[in-house]
Structure 1
Amino acid sequence: MSRPRKCRKVCEMPLIKEFRPVGSSSCESTVILTVDEYETIRLIDKQGCSQEECSAYMLVARTTVQMIYSSARKKLADALVNGLSIRIEGGDYKLCDKREKNWGCARSCTYTYQ
C-alpha cells in the first residue's frame, strides 16, 4: 500500500486560471497545471526562493518540491512549444488561512500578520 500524499500549503491562488495562445479555440488541447505546481513556480521563479525555502513554505520535503517543480516546468514547456492552453486547477493543497504564523509562508504570503 502506498503512502498517502501530504497536503501542500499554498499561500496565494492564481488570479488568472486559464491562458490561451492568441487565435486558439477552446476545443484545442489544454495542459492542466495543478495549484501546487503553480505555487512552486510562483515561489521559485517569481519570488526567487530556493527549493529548500519553497519546501519550508509549503511544509513538504525538498525532494517533493523538486518533483512538483519538474512536473510544472515540463507542462509549461509543452504548452509553450506546442501552442497549447494552460489551465490551473486541482492538486493536493490547503490554502493558507492567513491567521496562522506557523504555516511557513511568511515571505511569500501576501497577508500581513498582526
Structure 2
Amino acid sequence: MARPMKWRKVCCLPKMNKFGPLDTSVDAENYVIMTVDEYETIRLIDLERFTQEECARQMNVARSTVQGIYNEARKKLAESLVNGKVLLIEGGEYRLCEGLENACGRGCRRYRRSRCFTDDEGQAD
C-alpha cells in the first residue's frame, strides 16, 4: 500500500508567477516550471536565511525532503537564468498555512502582513 501524501505547508503564493526574458514567448521549449513548494524553499532558505532544518519545520516535512526540493528549485532557477528560459511558478504538493496563530513560524508572510499597522496611530512600519 502506498504511503499517503504529506502536503508541504506554504505561507503565501508568489506575487508574480512568471519571470524571464522580456522578449521570449512561452512555448514548449522556452520555459521551466517551478512548483510552489520549490518556490517556498527558495524563499525560506535564500531570502529568510532559514537553515534546511528550520525550513523543514516550517513546511512540516523532513529535512531530507527539503534538501531535495531545494536542489530541484535551484537547478530550475539556473536553467532559466543560464539558458534564457521563462520561469513559471505553479502547481506542486502544498497547502497554504493558516497564519501564525495556527503554529506557523517566523517566516510566515501572512503573519507579517497582519502586523503592518503596529503603533497607536495606525501608521505602517
- Report sequence identity in percent: 54
Greater radius of gyration (CA): 2
How big is the shift at 1:77? Answer: 0.7
**What secondary structure, in the 3-state scheme, does the structure 2 residue paired with 1:32 have?**
strand
Higher relative contact order (CA 8 A, sep 6+): 1
Counterpart AA for 2:6? K
How big is the shift at 1:50? Answer: 0.2
Q: CA RMSD in A?
A: 1.8
CA distance in 1, matches of 2:100, 2:39: 22
1:71 maps to which residue? 72
1:86 maps to which residue? 87
How big is the shift at 1:106? Answer: 1.9
CA distance in 1, matches of 2:63, 2:86: 29
Residues 62-82 of structure 1: per-residue CA shift (max 9 Å, x gap): 000000000101111111111
C-alpha spacing 1:43/1:25, structure 2 compared with 1 (3 Å): same
**What secondary structure, in the 3-state scheme, does the structure 2 residue paired with 1:4 have?**
coil
How big is the shift at 1:99? Answer: 6.0
Q: How many correspondences in the alignment?
A: 112
2:35 maps to which residue? 34
C-alpha spacing 1:44/1:99, structure 2 compared with 1 (3 Å): closer
Contact 2:100 2:108 in 1 (8 A): no
Residues 40-97 of structure 1: per-residue CA shift (max 9 Å, x gap): 0000000000000000000100000000000101111111111100000000000012
CA distance in 2, matches of 1:14, 1:82: 23
TM-score between both structures, scaled by the size of structure 1: 0.89
Unpaired segments ≥5 residues, structure 2: 116-125
TM-score between both structures, scaled by the size of structure 2: 0.81
**What secondary structure, in the 3-state scheme, does the structure 2 residue paired with 1:111 have?**
helix
CA distance in 2, matches of 1:19, 1:111: 23
Counterpart AA for 1:22? L
